[in-house]
């Protein structure tokens, strides 16, 4: 089961999260999500546990638990929402019905 872990302190490590979840069972993977540009934690992550019963015990025990002076929000991760294609609509190229603004070199 994939578990969402939110409200993490920015300095919380994968190992700290793993240690807490391993108290309730086997942990396959821990991923704290980081910003692509800065590498800084975004304050949430995911834990994968192979046994659903152990995962549910961990969720029950750790939701509201404090790590690094932050109260965790822990629940079953929701499936990733499908993305719509493109970048929010619009077309490629020039907008319809608009003439060149004159700030580009004229081609004859």
Sketch the domain layout of the chain as residue ranges. 2-76
In the prediction, which pLDDT does 80 show? 82
**Contact status, residue 53 vs residue 59, Cβ threshold 8 Å:** no
Q: What is the pLDDT of residues 17-56, one digit of tens each?
A: 999 999 999 999 999 999 999 999 999 999 999 999 999 9
The two structure tokens encoding residue 88 = 């929010």
pTM equals 0.74
What confidence category does residue 81 fall into, taking pLDDT thresholds of 50, 70 and 90?
A: confident
Per CATH, which fold does 2-76 belong to? Alpha-Beta Plaits (3.30.70)
In the prediction, which pLDDT does 79 show? 86
Report the alpha-carbon distance of residue 76 to residue 56 in Å, rounded: 8
Report the alpha-carbon distance of residue 62 to residue 27 in Å, rounded: 14
Average model confidence (pLDDT) across the chain? 86
In the prediction, which pLDDT does 83 show? 76
Report percent pLDDT > 90 for the chain: 69
- Burial label, 92 (beta-carbon count in 10 A; 0-12, 13-18, 19+): exposed
Q: Is 38 helix (H, G, I), strand (E, B) or coil?
A: coil
């Amino acid at each position: 089961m994939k578990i969402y872990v939110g409200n993490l302190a920015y300095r919380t490590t994968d190992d700290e999260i793993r240690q807490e979840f391993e108290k309730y069972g086997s942990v396959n993977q821990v991923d704290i999500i980081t910003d692509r540009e800065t590498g800084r934690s975004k304050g949430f992550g995911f834990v994968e546990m192979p046994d659903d019963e152990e995962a549910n015990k961990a969720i029950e025990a750790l939701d509201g638990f404090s790590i690094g002076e932050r109260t965790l929000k822990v629940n079953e991760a929701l499936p990733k929402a499908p993305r719509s294609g493109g970048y929010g609509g619009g077309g490629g190229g020039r907008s319809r019905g608009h003439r060149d603004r004159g700030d580009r070199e004229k081609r004859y």
